[in-house]
Amino acid sequence: MIVDMTAGADAFASGLFTKFDLTLIVVEPTLASVGVYRQYKGYAAEFGIPVAVIGNKVTDEDEEAFLREQVGADLLSIIPYSKAVKARDRGDATAAEADQELLAAFHVLEERLLYTEKNWERFYRQAVEFHIRNGKSWANASVGLDVSKQIDPDFGAKDFVAFLN
């Protein structure tokens, strides 16, 4: 599943970030953009959420080197700045062919994403954790009961996986 989120830590308020096997953060070669990545990575580390970076709108080797220096091994792929993409965004129908550089960058992403495994233990544990947190912060008052009582203590991650299959 791909979810488009705004910059920053919005996904951490609800626990949405725990539902992904891997979080891809699109980072442009600027300090502000790298700052958003660092903020997100810091929050995600507490919960063991893997983070990878896609360098976006990279115009030259200096910008690529900047991203490599700033995000290190988290840099998964570089998407170069593309005049063709800009032209399509302006409605230029003659710019319909994709750039070869863009196709190569997306191929790297495809390879990585196909082999990301689901950590069912973490997924289930965090689903329970955020159900309880949300109950305490707003849901219990909203429905007039303790929603943590909905959690079966004998039901675990293995049962969850069996249920899904």
153 and 127 together in one domain: yes
pLDDT higher than threshold 60 for residue 57: yes
Give the residues across from 58 on adjacent strands. Answer: 80
Q: In this structure, what is the dihedral angle of CA atoms 44, 133, 124, 165, given to the nearest 10 degrees?
A: -120
Total structural domains within the chain: 2
pLDDT digits (tens, 9 = 90+) for 88-113: 778 876 655 666 777 777 787 787 77
Quick one: pLDDT at residue 120? 82
56 and 70 together in one domain: yes
Quick one: pLDDT at residue 116? 67
Of 16-30, 47-61, 85-99, 108-122, which one has max mean pLDDT? Answer: 47-61
Q: Report residue 100 as tokens.
A: 């070869």
Helix (H) or strand (E) holding 55: strand 51-58
Measured distance CA(64)–CA(43) in Å, rounded: 25
CATH number, position 96: 3.40.50.300
Q: Report residue 37 as tokens.
A: 């990545």
> Which residue segment(s) compose the domain that 156 sits in?
120-164
Whether residue 102 is contained in a domain is answered as: yes
Phi and psi at 87, nearest 5°, equal: -65, -45
Tell me how far apart the terminal alpha carbons of the chain are, to the nearest angstrom. Answer: 18
89 and 143 together in one domain: no
Quick one: pLDDT at residue 8? 53
> Helices marked H in 82-119 — which ranges?
83-89, 100-114
46 and 108 together in one domain: yes
Q: Are 23 and 51 in contact (CB under 8 A)?
A: yes
Phi and psi at 81, nearest 5°, equal: -60, 135
pTM equals: 0.67
66 and 108 together in one domain: yes
16 and 97 together in one domain: yes
